[in-house]
């Protein structure tokens, strides 16, 4: 009877030791792996959203500073065609370019 009790005691002690060594902060190894993956996925998504917003802002800033076409360019195109453009024609071309976006 005494040997049976001591074997159960050793078994309980080994189980307790294995539980202590396989957990940290009450979370097992599988839990830490899951937490690590979850945090990684969340950070990846946050980085993607921030990257999208920053690149969009930068792109809009570049378009504002360097528009794809302006009135000066329209005048140059008309003069290359050998025509003198009126202000009405230039405004019409600019309006059509703006509406085409």
Q: pTM of the full predicted structure?
A: 0.51
Structural domain range at position 98: 69-101
Distance CA 3, CA 65 (A): 87
* Contact yes or no for 75/90 (Cβ under 8 A): yes
**Residues 6+ positions from 89 with CB-CB distance below 8 Å:** 78
Q: Is residue 74 in a domain?
A: yes
Q: Is residue 28 in a domain?
A: no
Q: Is residue 56 in a domain?
A: no
Distance CA 31, CA 36 (A): 9
pLDDT digits (tens, 9 = 90+) for 22-67: 666 778 888 899 999 999 999 999 999 999 999 999 999 998 888 7
* Contact yes or no for 90/71 (Cβ under 8 A): yes
Higher pLDDT, 3 or 23: 23
Distance CA 22, CA 98 (A): 65
The total number of structural domains in the chain stands at 1
């Amino acid at each position: 009877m005494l040997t049976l009790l001591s074997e159960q005691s050793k078994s309980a002690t080994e189980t307790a030791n294995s539980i202590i060594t396989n957990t940290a902060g009450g979370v097992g190894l599988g839990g830490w792996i899951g937490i690590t993956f979850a945090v990684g996925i969340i950070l990846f998504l946050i980085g993607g959203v921030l990257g999208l917003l920053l690149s969009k802002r930068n792109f809009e800033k570049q378009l504002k500073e360097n528009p794809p076409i302006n009135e000066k360019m329209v005048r140059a195109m008309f003069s290359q065609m050998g025509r003198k453009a009126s202000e009405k024609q230039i405004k019409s071309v600019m309006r059509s370019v703006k509406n085409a976006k």
